[in-house]
Chains A and B, each alone.
Chain A
Amino acid sequence: MIDNGIPIDVAVIGAGPSGLAAAIALKQAGVGRVAVLEREPQAGGIPRHCNHPPYGLREFGRILKGPEYAARLVASARNAGVEIHVSITVTSIHGDGLLRLSTPEGVFEITPRRVIYATGVRETPRSARLISGARVQGVVNTGALQSMIYLKHRRPFRRPVIIGTELVAFSALMTCQSAGVRPIAMIEADAIATARWPSAIYPRMRGVELLTNTRLVEIEGDTVVQAVTVANTDGQTRRIECDGVILTGSFTPEVALARCGHLDVDPATGGPVVDQWGRCSDPAYFATGNVLRPVETAGRSWAEGRQTGAWVAQDLAGKLPSHDAKPLRILLGDARIKYAMPQVIYPSKGAGGMSEIQMRVRERVSGTLIARMQGRPVWQRRLNTRPERRIAVPIGEIISQAAADCVEFTIE
């Protein structure tokens, strides 16, 4: 039972790779009671339903399929003394770490000393993409598709089209093929696939047409998908008969608790506003993993969780710089920059924290990324990149120049 009378030191919301890694790190740092709260009936997060490699190289030194990887993470956490509570939903978050919970037994509250928010990301659904057409059955995200196929052994269609070419789109393709679902085409608005080579040739190897410079313009159907219409950049349209649409990627942090609660949310990342320790606008809350920004691999999320766990342990020991000091705010002065995370930095040396500002761009960019304080360039670097590629700006080099309350990034 979570409510056993012993105060909880740290509650982690979400038992995916980052949340479990944070919990393990906390236990290894000697923190007393660490409880991971998972709303699904099983811990492990998204990898539970990605029944294909590669997972685990960073964490376990070998290549695993998602479910094996998830099971290992859960076992490691239990071995480290982490409590994992499943089928427990945090229904709202409040000041000073107060969490309201719902379980099959009823509702109650806990107030741990710190909360780590590790709820991950999800893909943007059809509605938020504003895709035109009939609102019919058979339009799913990769996440739902994988849960159906790998966890429930059900398939929602036989001949879908796949929208998007981020890494997850190839995961969707592999998922389909494991269930005898044969995608007709992959559709990408850009001129080239988003994921790195050799991803781009994989669809053709599998007999799936890759349509670049093409966007989905309409979904047709009565109760289920019967066809889609796509258009290329010349405005030519083509109707493709199919019985499903897989909307992949366009990840967005699952940040409902923060948005409907009291934490500041950054419209750029879609995640909570954090400093370089992942500390939120209420310093009782920290965030880690993919809820920080879309989107990183499970391995990276796990590594972030490890670090965040260590920083929260430091904070409990009173070793993090005060949240009351005035931070350096990071501003985006160019619409091509999609986001920067963390959003604020405390110019304190020696207290650890993230070593880099993570950035991404919205479109292909070639130029110079420049950081300015009060109009004066303080840092710059050549930038030749594309959407969903990592951009890392060393925080140390920015802090060393800090002479203002904000730093603005532009691309020239």
Chain B
Amino acid sequence: MPNPQPKSSRQSKNMLSDDLFDVVVIGAGVVGCAVARRFVLEGAKVAIVEKASDILDGASKANSAILHTGFDAPQGSLELECIRQGFREYEDIRSELGLVQQKSGAFVVAWTPEQMDALAGIEAQAHENGIVDAHFVDAKSLKAAEPNLSANAMGAVNVPQESIIDPWSAPYVYLHQALENGAEVFLSCHITGGDFDGHVWDLWSGNGTLRSRAVINCAGLYGDILDRDVLGQAQFQIIPRKGQFVVFDKAACGLVSSVILPVPTEKTKGVVLFGTVFGNLVVGPTAEDQQSRTDATTDEVSLNALIAEGVDKLPALAQMPVTAVYAGLRPATERKEYRIEAAQDKNWITVGGIRSTGLSAALGIARHVFGLYEKFGAEHQPIAKPVTPQANVLAQTGARDWQRGGHGEIVCHCELVTRREIEAALVGPLAARSLGGLKRQTRAMMGRCQGFYCAAQVAELTDGKFAQAMSERFAHD
């Protein structure tokens, strides 16, 4: 350790950046990316830090990829407000940022008489929440709309605006827009402590110190730890909730055209059948409370139970091969609602407990958080004409790179990922530094063969790029 220096002596410190930021956003999940974007657009000088090598590496790496309307959110809740706002803003910015939105609609399906009884309440709540086009459909109409559903479906509430989106391209372009309009990003940067002198935060990481007037904690699964270690107190405790999913072959995608939701229970929205914009059909998630913030393992018993539930509701799934399985961790807390709180005297806002609607609400949360931040007394001039980068088009309905000449070659045959796409994902401020990051940016190796055909080529193309290499070269005789 060097000799202790007076705090004001900035030159003596190991600084990540010499700049004094208006805001440092900690955590580059979907919420952090949306928050960073909002603050930049409002004219703030922003840095975003992420302890993983790639963004979206925590809760945001695995979700249901649904843009919810908020039809079932608790009435009068902040969650509802943020989902509604988030949905509206997504629709507003979608074309300028090249984002995909498939308005597949959803059916909340009743499979038992008790669930049938609950549908009227679901419809009424949807109307109260402002989703006025939600409406009850009987078994016959449901059958007409979703002919492959099991005959046990008794009726449903249809929510026509529920949509499916690309859960990774969206936050990537939120952050790209923040970066192209002046934000800075620090990856592999773990904030372990800090100090607030009444005006400015010193945030300490293994790589150096960042200085900022305000801090937004978007640390997701680690939100409580960050509050405790840096702010000095945590208002909540994260109780990670694991959700496992089964992804079926693209041939299954046509079996349903809408999102098939169950009647929710107190604890969870339940197991959903949903198509993805990539053209797969997914069944999940489970809801398993656990202590570990990293254990996203899958287990055969749960996966088989998900498949059985899927087949029960959609019998034709029995003939469909499984393409992939995954598990995600939701940053639940001991309470159901969002835990977004401002520590006014510390210029610190904690965005916690964004449990299962983060993707839908992120843009709305970002606006809400900016509103809280304004109360700190900050004033900025919004950017008059922000740069609008374009999202990667990975949705199968979009104009994919393989459809344009000059892509080099198709590397991943199952997902039709080109060499040009992979090379593009390996450069720039958000360059993939892990296989997971590359998959989220390009979908390489995410298809039915899971790398049987392309892993060697991907290993070669990513040589020297990943913190954990896919392979090592050896001398060949």
Residue of B nearest to A132 (CB): B299
Contact of B405 with A131 in the complex, beta carbons under 8 Å? no
A341 to B457 CA separation, bound complex (whole angstroms): 34
Q: Does B303 contact A (CB under 8 A)?
A: yes
A318 at the interface (CB under 8 A from B): no
> Which residue on chain B has the smallest CB distance to residue A41?
B409
**Cβ of A122 under 8 Å from chain B:** yes
| Cα(A260)–Cα(B473), bound, Å | 37
| A128 with B321, Cβ < 8 A, contacts A140-B455, A224-B468 known | yes
Residues of the B chain whose Cβ atoms lie less than 8 Å from the Cβ of A217: 300
Partner of B303, one of A107, A130, A144, A256: A130
Interface residue? A254 (CB, 8 A): yes
User: Which of A98-106, A194-202, A205-213, A319-327 is found at the contact surface with chain B?
Assistant: A98-106
Determine if A155 is an interface residue (Cβ-Cβ < 8 Å). Answer: yes
B92 at interface, CB cutoff 8 A: no
Instruction: State A143–B450 Cα separation when bound (angstroms).
Output: 11
List the A side residues contacting B303 at CB < 8 Å.
130
Residues of B contacting A132 in the complex (Cβ-Cβ under 8 angstroms)? 297-301
* Given A125-B449, A127-B324; A156-B300 close (CB under 8 Å): no
Pair A260/B459 contact, Cβ less than 8 Å: no
* Separation of A224 and B294 alpha carbons in the complex (Å): 14
Bound state CA distance, A156 and B300, in angstroms?
25
Does B34 touch A at the CB level, under 8 Å?
no
Residues of A within 8 Å of B299, CB to CB, are 132-133
B474 touches A144 (CB 8 A): no
A147 within 8 A of B: yes
Query: Which A residues between 184 and 233 are near B, CB-CB below 8 angstroms?
Result: 217, 222-224
**Complex: A152 Cα to B453 Cα, angstroms:** 13
Find A91's partner among B409, B416, B456 (CB 8 Å cutoff).
Answer: B416
Across the two chains, which residue of chain B brings its CB closest to A180? B474
- Chain A residues lying within 8 Å of B413, measured Cβ to Cβ, are 39, 89
Instruction: Report how many residues on chain A are interfacial, defined by Cβ distance under 8 Å.
Output: 51
In the bound assembly, the distance between CA atoms of A103 and B473 in angstroms comes to 30
Residues in chain B near residue A140, CB distance under 8 A: 451, 455
Residues of A within 8 A of B298 (CB): 130, 132-133, 135
Determine how close the nearest CB of chain B comes to the CB of A346; give it in whole angstroms.
Answer: 25
A126 to B413, CA, bound (A): 18
- Which residues 449-477 in B have Cβ within 8 Å of A in the complex? 449-453, 455-457, 459-460, 468, 470-476
Inter-chain CA distance A123–B455, complex, in Å, is 13
Q: For the complex, is A267 an interface residue (Cβ under 8 Å from B)?
A: yes
CA distance A179 to B476 in the complex (A): 8
Check if B404 sits within 8 Å of A130, measured CB to CB.
Answer: no
* Interface of chain A residues 364 through 392 with chain B (CB within 8 A): none
Q: Are the C-beta atoms of A127 and B322 separated by less than 8 Å?
A: yes
Asked whether, in the complex, the Cβ of B472 is within 8 Å of the Cβ of A131, the reply is no
Is A338 interfacial (CB-CB < 8 Å)? no
CA distance A156 to B451 in the complex (A): 13
B85 to chain A, nearest CB (A): 34
Q: Known: A39-B410, A122-B453, A252-B321. Contact between A153 and B296, CB under 8 A?
A: no
Is A141 located at the chain interface by the 8 A CB criterion?
yes
Are A137 and B470 in contact, with the CB atoms below 8 A? Answer: yes
Bound complex: CA A222 to CA B295 (Å): 9
Q: Known: A125-B452, A128-B322, A143-B453. Contact between A152 and B460, CB under 8 A?
A: yes
Kindly state the interface size class of chain B when it binds its partner: 35 or more
Q: Shortest distance in angstroms between A87's beta carbon and chain B's nearest beta carbon?
A: 5
Contacts of B407 in A (CB 8 A): 104
Tell me if B402 is interfacial: C-beta within 8 Å of chain A: yes
Residues B304 and A153 in contact, CB atoms below 8 Å apart: no
A259 at the interface (CB under 8 A from B): yes
Cβ 8 A contact of A156, one of B304, B406, B471: B471
Does the CB pair A155–B455 fall under 8 Å?
no
Q: What 1/0 flags go to A332-352 for Cβ under 8 Å of B?
A: 000000000000000000000
CB distance from B359 to the nearest CB of A (A): 21
Q: Which residues of A contact B451 (CB under 8 A)?
A: 125, 140-141, 144
Q: In the bound complex, what is the Cα–Cα distance between A152 and B294 (angstroms)? A: 33
Q: How far is the CA of A72 from the CA of B90 in the complex (A)?
A: 56
CB distance from A330 to the nearest CB of B (A): 18
A102, A106, A267: the one contacting B319 at CB < 8 Å is A267
**B93 adjacent to chain A (CB < 8 Å):** no
Min distance, Cβ A335 to any Cβ of chain B, angstroms? 14
| Interface check B225, CB cutoff 8 A | no
29 residue pairs from A and B, CB less than 8 Å apart: A87-B410, A91-B402, A102-B410, A102-B416, A106-B404, A122-B453, A127-B323, A127-B324, A128-B322, A130-B303, A131-B300, A132-B301, A140-B455, A143-B452, A143-B453, A144-B456, A152-B457, A152-B459, A153-B474, A153-B476, A154-B473, A155-B474, A156-B471, A179-B474, A217-B300, A254-B449, A256-B250, A260-B250, A265-B251
The 9 A-B pairs at the shortest CB distance, nearest first, are namely A147-B456, A125-B450, A106-B405, A154-B471, A144-B455, A259-B251, A148-B456, A132-B299, A128-B322
Interface residues of B (CB under 8 A from A): 247, 249-251, 294-301, 303-304, 319, 321-327, 402-410, 413-414, 416, 434-435, 448-453, 455-457, 459-460, 468, 470-476
Residues of A within 8 A of B (CB): 39-41, 87, 89, 91, 102-107, 122-123, 125-128, 130-135, 137, 140-141, 143-144, 147-148, 151-156, 179-180, 217, 222-224, 252, 254, 256, 259-260, 265, 267, 270
